[in-house]
Amino acid sequence: MNTRIHEILTKYQSELLDEWLAAIAASGVRRDALMKEGELRDQAAEFLRLLTRALEQGNVSDINTPAYASIRDMLDRLSRSRSLLGLSPTETATFVFSLKLPLFERLRREHAKESQVVADELWAVTVLLDRLGLYTTEIHQRTREEVIARQQQEMMELSTPVVALWDRIVALPLIGTLDSGRTQTVMETLLQRIVETGAEIAIIDITGVPTVDTLTAQHLIKTVTATRLMGAECVISGIRPQIAQTIVHLGVDLSDVVTKSTLASAFSWALKRLNQTIGGGPRSAALKG
């Protein structure tokens, strides 16, 4: 079976290329603004060449064999690049699926008097191109998931800035929900900044944290513990009345943790702890900072 298909690809490769590109254009999913015609032709020509080589070396039913390694690599690159360009999975898979019609027509013409041969070959080609097309959707989806995961990580890092408030005092304002993944980022960022700045006091401000449950409180305690292991004291500020009541109701023990209602009061406590003073009032303190 793969011998007949291989012969068709070898004999009519140039004609198939032109007919395939016409089929892609007729499908209505070509995005000329994102991909030039010359680039599309080069990709189609490479696909036909690699498909011909794969059928010469292997069989028509299993695209996971070593014979299809090159064409899988090519589709991997194609799918990733199209995903990053913003093309949909359908638009990406159509690149492969559009080859069906011109290839079907060539097979039918070559074996017009052999109905069973035509039926068998058409089925074999359908299965092969379907598997290759579905492979592109898998890579496309995987690429999008990787991009989303990377963006989430970057957003998480941006949402946990550690600010040097004063000599040996840093602050970490938290905004949003504090989950396990973010807690790890918070710890790593805070501990790294303590090392870089030689800070002795770290203020974790939770004014922007909407709710505090048992898990959130545990995350905060872990961060406090890690900070202490680095030789710095930790203060939690932004304890609103509602959060204080919730912590008491949950039975979370923060008795050995310094807590303040506002970031300003935590900063004032930190200055006294380090025996530092700010002269000239709030404005001069702001200018000095």
- Each residue's pLDDT tens digit, 147-169: 888 776 666 555 568 888 899 99
Instruction: Look up residue 132 and give its two tokens.
Output: 């290759």
Instruction: Look up residue 140 and give its two tokens.
Output: 């496309």
- Domain closes at, from 153, 185, 214: 153
Model pLDDT, residue 288:
42
Total tally of structural domains belonging to the chain = 2
Whether residue 210 is found in the same domain as residue 109: no
Backbone phi and psi for residue 240, each to the nearest 5 degrees, phi listed first: -80, 160
Model pLDDT, residue 286:
40
**Tally of CB atoms within 10 A around 217:** 21
Instruction: Look up residue 86 and give its two tokens.
Output: 């913003």
Domain hosting residue 99, numbered range: 2-153
- Each residue's pLDDT tens digit, 216-270: 888 888 888 999 999 999 999 998 888 888 888 888 777 888 999 999 999 999 9
First to last CA, the chain: 78
Q: What is the CATH number of the domain that holds 261?
A: 3.30.750.24
Whether residue 72 is found in the same domain as residue 120: yes
Model pLDDT, residue 204:
92
Whether residue 137 is found in the same domain as residue 175: no
- Environment class of residue 45 by beta-carbon count within 10 Å: exposed (0-12), middle (13-18) or buried (19+)? middle
Bridge partners of 175, per DSSP, are 208
Among residues 174, 169, 163, the alpha carbon closest in space to that of 243 is found at 174
Q: How far is CA 256 from CA 47, 108, 141, 235, in A?
A: 66, 82, 48, 10
Q: What is the CATH number of the domain that holds 71?
A: 1.10.490
Among residues 138, 273, 160, the alpha carbon closest in space to that of 206 is found at 160
Model pLDDT, residue 281:
44
Whether residue 142 is found in the same domain as residue 167: no
Whether residue 9 is found in the same domain as residue 101: yes
Sign of CA dihedral 204, 210, 212, 218: negative
Kind and range of the H or E run holding 169: strand 169-175
Which residue ranges in the chain fall short of pLDDT 70?
Answer: 1-3, 29-34, 58, 152-160, 279-289
Whether residue 118 is found in the same domain as residue 169: no
The verdict on residue 158 lying in a domain is no
Residue 254, classed as helix, strand or coil, is coil
Whether residue 149 is found in the same domain as residue 179: no
The verdict on residue 64 lying in a domain is yes
Sign of CA dihedral 213, 218, 223, 225: positive
The verdict on residue 222 lying in a domain is yes
Whether residue 10 is found in the same domain as residue 144: yes
Whether residue 24 is found in the same domain as residue 149: yes
Residue 260, classed as helix, strand or coil, is strand
- Domain closes at, from 96, 126, 153: 153
| Residues near 145 by beta carbon (within 8 Å), at least 6 away in sequence | none
